Amino acid sequence: MSLRNIAIIAHVDHGKTTLVDKMLQQSGSFRENQRVAERVMDSGDIEKERGITILAKATSVVWKDTRINIVDTPGHADFGGEVERILSMVDGVIVLVDSAEGPMPQTKFVVGKALKIGLKPIVAINKIDRPDGRANEVINEVFDLFAALDATDEQLDFPILYGSGRDGWMAETPEGPSDQGLAPLFDLVLKHVPEAKVEPGAFRMLGTLLEANPFLGRIITGRIASGTVKPNQTIKVIDRHGNLVENGRVSKILAFRGIERQPIEAGEAGDIVSIAGLVKGSVADTFCDPSVTEAIQAQPIDPPTVTMSFLVNDSPLAGTEGDKVTSRMIRDRLYKEAEGNVTLKIEESADKDSFFVSGRGELQLSILIETMRREGFELAVSRPRVVFKQDDDGNTLEPMEEVVIDVDEEYSGTVVQKMSERKADMIEMKPSGGNRLRLVFHAPTRGLIGYQSELLTDTRGTAIMNRLFHGYEPYKGELAGRNNGVLIANEQGESVAYALWNLEDRGPMIIDAGVKVYQGMLVGIHNRDNDLEVNVLKGKKLTNIRTTSKDEAVKLTPPIRMTLERSLAWIQDDELMEVTPKSIRLRKRYLDPNERKRMKNAKEG
């Protein structure tokens, strides 16, 4: 059976995962009566809740006696480390573009990587039924993008299909016909994408995806570059420099057949398979026959730009809600995460009770924190900081990002003002259809931390922001921080409605009544720029004198809900976020007020 390996590239929400659903259905991968979940490729809980793809996943379909391996890739730049490695497994890409939004920064990021390694793209214009669709303009934008990314003439001569992934059809013209389903897409893949590349020689495979399976142990997925592999075969693992990592035996070979992975008797060159049985081999290592000495070159990965401290939770409420609280447990979990995710970098501090975790962006790190708290971990995390570099002359360089904001015209002034406060330079401003403007900025990464929620507030939820790592540039100077101080609890206990009600004129609260608090925990936002210690435990003094019923019922203003992402962006350098399976609490790094003053004086002195 001949083979084709393709990846689907698209920006967030342009419909990759939905299209893969329809491809599986129409190729007969499901039984007639089989119940199938929507967006079957998004397997994690967080992926389903947020509607985003975090991990790349492979599947396969059979069309006209040809097996097509399809890789669904993430659309967020924070998870771009996944995409870069996956492209080495495939021989062609389908670039999926929304008929209204056109190519976005994330499309540019991945397409650039694909064109660089010589893949010939197929362009599919999706969501053709959108009322604000502008298919012809989008095609021109895609062509301009490819040209700007130095595509060859052959790559610029790309075939185009139009259709709707949700309705499950593709055709050569925007008008249809829509009754052929996805057959035109499958046929074009067979015609346009070359057969899977096979090199002569013994078995070699580059590890691309890593996962832990409770029954089979470590499972490494990759494409076999040459030779064949069978169960019980002895193989070795070498790193990118050719040094031996381990010798081992293959216990099982799994191949993608529809959405299921099934054991097979032999993995052939060109196919994408998963191998179980090795204990040390990781991503970017070469799995090969014992006679092989040369490693397969892996694609280089862009460096991490944001770092955070993960600390052991030492608050008075530590250990009351989670069962994984020690530094050893946190350390093992972080190192396990870094094994499979090559864009994460973990460093241990000298005192062994905190860890510096560096990644591509705060979304990637907040998803790691969310995953850990769901697994029962308790930890404290600091505000994200950017990773600075020094150039040869000793000048400080900081990471910059290209930011594209689509916004209604009436809110554009506010966005431009807020971005300039964050030291961003506007590069371009153009209409993007339907009374909307597309603003392009180059902005320092540290200025964008936490801007997403503020942007949505400023634009009544109508703006769409997309970011992409641009490069390192000279340091832009200090940024204005948070304008308001905080209200800090001065005792341990449970908050009382009457006390909160009396404090409302000091500023909005971030906790409800009946919440456990401790000394040094943040309970509200002060109206002024200084911090203030307050008592949230003080109940109403009861006397035997009757009063009018007016002040018996206390009506509290609902508190500001501090979500995980919002908290990360809001806290300052002297504050921490305490994360447990049940709650998110904000606190000062030093809980004792005298110690806080001492540290502040030492810093100023």
Give whole-number Cα distances, 489 to 23, 486, 601, in Å: 56, 10, 21
Question: What is the distance between the alpha carbons of residues 19 and 91, in angstroms, rounded to a whole number?
Answer: 19
**Distance, C-alpha 295 to centroid of its chain:** 29
pLDDT in tens, 544-587: 666 655 556 678 888 888 888 788 888 888 889 999 999 899 99
For tokens 């090795």, name the residue.
278
The structure's pTM equals 0.71
What single-letter DSSP state applies at residue 410?
G
Which pLDDT band, with edges at 50, 70 and 90, does 37 fall under? very low
Question: What is the distance between the alpha carbons of residues 440 and 424, in angstroms, rounded to a whole number?
Answer: 10
Calculate what percentage of the chain has a pLDDT beyond 70: 87
Question: What is the distance between the alpha carbons of residues 345 and 338, in angstroms, rounded to a whole number?
Answer: 7
Mapped to the 3 state alphabet, what secondary structure does 34-70 carry? CCCCCCCCCCCHHHHHHCCCCCCEEEEEEECCEEEEE
Q: How far apart are the first and last CA of the chain?
A: 74
| CB atoms closer than 10 angstroms to residue 213 | 13
Which pLDDT band, with edges at 50, 70 and 90, does 78 fall under? very low
How many residues are given for the chain? 605
**By mean pLDDT, which of 277-286, 406-415, 416-425 is the weakest?**
277-286
Paired sense of beta strands 66-72 and 92-98, if any: unpaired
For 216, the 3-state DSSP assignment is coil
Q: Is 351 exposed, middle or buried (0-12, 13-18, 19+ CB in 10 A)?
A: exposed
Q: What is the mean pLDDT of residues 77-101?
A: 74
Question: What is the distance between the alpha carbons of residues 117 and 120, in angstroms, rounded to a whole number?
Answer: 9
Residue 333 main-chain phi, psi, to 5 deg: -65, -40
Calculate what percentage of the chain has a pLDDT beyond 90: 8
Q: What is the mean pLDDT of residues 330-338?
A: 86
Question: What is the distance between the alpha carbons of residues 362 and 366, in angstroms, rounded to a whole number?
Answer: 6
Q: Domains of the chain (ranges plus CATH)? A: 2-192 (3.40.50.300), 204-288 (2.40.30.10), 389-474 (3.30.70.240), 486-604 (2.40.50.250)
The pLDDT assigned to 18 comes to 77
Omega into 177 within 30° of 0, i.e. cis? yes
Closest CA to 8 of 76, 79, 74: 74
Which pLDDT band, with edges at 50, 70 and 90, does 302 fall under? low
Residue 108 main-chain phi, psi, to 5 deg: -60, -45
SS3 percent helix, strand, coil of the chain, rounded to 5, is 25, 30, 45
pLDDT surpassing 80 at residue 246: yes
The pLDDT assigned to 35 comes to 42
What are the binding residues?
13-18, 126-129
- HSE toward the beta carbon, residue 124, CA cutoff 13 A: 29
Q: What is the mean pLDDT of residues 123-145?
A: 86
User: Of the segments 280-284, 404-408, 518-522, which one has the largest average pLDDT value?
Assistant: 518-522
pLDDT in tens, 109-129: 778 878 888 888 999 888 888
What are the binding residues for GTP?
13-18, 126-129
**By mean pLDDT, which of 29-38, 84-93, 106-115, 340-349 is the weakest?**
29-38
Question: What is the distance between the alpha carbons of residues 16 and 165, in angstroms, rounded to a whole number?
Answer: 8
Instruction: Specify whether the CB–CB gap between 201 and 177 falls below 8 A.
Output: no
pLDDT surpassing 70 at residue 81: no
Instruction: Specify whether the CB–CB gap between 578 and 587 falls below 8 A.
Output: yes
pLDDT surpassing 60 at residue 375: yes
The pLDDT assigned to 22 comes to 79
Instruction: Specify whether the CB–CB gap between 458 and 411 falls below 8 A.
Output: yes
pLDDT in tens, 184-222: 888 888 988 888 778 888 888 888 877 777 788 888 888
